[in-house]
Homo-oligomer: A and B are copies of this chain.
Amino acid sequence: MINTRTKIIAAAVKCFRNNPSDTLEKVAEEAGVSRRTLHRYFENREDLIESCKNEMLVSCNKAMTLAYESDSDPIKKIRNMLFAAIEQGASYAFVKRIYERSNFSDLERKKEFESDDVKSNWLNLIKELQKAERINTELTIPWIFNLFGSIIETAIYAVESGDVAKNDSRNFAWTSFKGAIGLKE
């Protein structure tokens, strides 16, 4: 049961992902509601953006946590997290765009949201694999982290643009990420 507020947020995520200053008229149109209605749900642009941020984060974190817990093998955990993020689609892409300006240590320092559990878990998995020399030890953790996000985003865009079928994008993403970090399965 999709309600108006959810519709507006989804539309805003879509619009603001590429243009943080897109007009609220555009967002309303994308949501299929009037701008007057949009204003009833969200006090102003800032409120709308904050709401998008929070909701998309919650959604992504939930999915990534489930994925993390779905298997005991570290490789499978990472793989499932990659797939979960791709499944999130626009949500993930939106969150990634928001935090694109931050560097890795900033993100690590800011314990402002729940994704830190997801991120810590993910980081520990990668560190474990590097320690065991199961992946390329020359690549730094920040690099691998950012690459993970980029490959997911690439997969999401590939599906959205019609270049790649949904199932293929998952497999390509995993194949590419594996190879990129030198993972031997």
Contacts and interface: CB of A to CB of B under 8 A. Distances in A.
Interface of A: 18-22, 100-105, 136, 138-140, 142-143, 146-147, 150-151, 153-154, 157-158, 161-164, 168-169, 171-172, 175-182
B175 A146 contact: no
Copies in the complex: 2
A146 B178 CA distance: 17
Consensus secondary structure, chain A interface: helix
Contact of A139 (B151, B175, B181): B175
A147 B162 contact: no
Contact of A180 (B21, B146, B161, B177): B177
Contact of A147 (B101, B102, B146, B176): B176
